Amino acid sequence: MTALSIPSPSSGVWYLGPLPIRGYALAIILGIIVAIWLAERRWVARGGTAGDIADLAVWGVPFGLVGGRLYHVATDHALYFGEGRHPIEALYVWRGGLGVWGAIALGIFGVWLGARRKGIRLLPVLDAMAPTVLVAQALGRWGNWFNQELFGKPTDLPWGLEIDPDNRPVGYFQYSTFQPTFLYEFLWNLAAFVVVVWADRRFTLGRGRVAALYVMAYTLGRGWIEMLRIDDVELKDVGGLRFNVWTSIVLFVAAAIYFVVSSRLRPGRETQVYDDGRGPAAATESAPQAGPPTDAPR
């Protein structure tokens, strides 16, 4: 242990009577709440109605959690299936294990379902929500700190993260401090949030380009942070890189292509965020108009 280091919590769960309160869950929930609050403000500024984002979150959050877990189990299925494994543990979300791209993919699907019901156009609402996802991801990373998981290589830097022996991977028992990748991603995501919001305001981005910029900003950081990690994932050597590094590269390139092509084909920002005949303006127009006053009988 170095003279200066970041301590890990002695426990990631506390009990309120028989009810367990888990640090991992608290970090995820806090991130979701803050992201919804920020996204509501951004949506109203783009011409949306207050309350829309909370309504869409009812769809997006459950789908996102399911998608995140499915992605994790699919890419690390050896942890749950096979000889000596317990498939039921694939349902133990509180132990950690949410794949961000599964969460994003199914989360968007859930938002799309909710948006269709409310007559909200998908790209404008994704542009409003995308930067705030960075804040949710930043806060959610503290769940890894509570669980003492997904840390990086051994280090003697002053900000090395203390890890208990029971949580050190095989081959690393002799080390006590490791790269705090959760902290790196926390700081990166907050900085990326500031940059994406600034770019959105400065260049009046729209038509999905804020969402594309989010993907580029996140994957740029996730790529190098992922290469620091030493957790034993199933796809840790795919052409010399971890699978999630390749995923970051592919998604960065795809988002960059969309950003450039979209900017040339459809510059500017949408002026309408609801489908034709939907939204608050349409509701006002369709409301019955009061007729001229008439003399009431006396």
> What are the binding residues?
141
- Choose among 163, 133, 125: nearest CA to 145: 163
What is the rounded distance in angstroms from the CA atom of residue 114 to the CA atom of residue 104? Answer: 15
Residues near 127 by beta carbon (within 8 Å), at least 6 away in sequence: 46, 200, 205, 206, 207, 208, 209, 210, 211
Alpha helices in 167-288, H assignment, sequence order? 181-203, 209-226, 243-265, 279-286
The angle subtended at Cα 70 by Cα 126 and Cα 246, nearest 5°, is 70
Sequence length of the chain is 298
**CA distance between the termini of the chain:** 92
- Choose among 104, 115, 106: nearest CA to 214: 104
The single residue listed with the structure tokens 């961000």 is 100
Residues near 256 by beta carbon (within 8 Å), at least 6 away in sequence: 212, 216
Which two structure tokens, joined as six digits, stand for 152? 């990086």
At 51, phi and psi to the nearest 5? 100, -20
Using DSSP's 3-state secondary structure scheme, residue 257 falls into helix
Range 194-199 contact pairs with CB under 8 angstroms and sequence separation of 24 or more:
196/130, 196/131, 196/134, 197/131
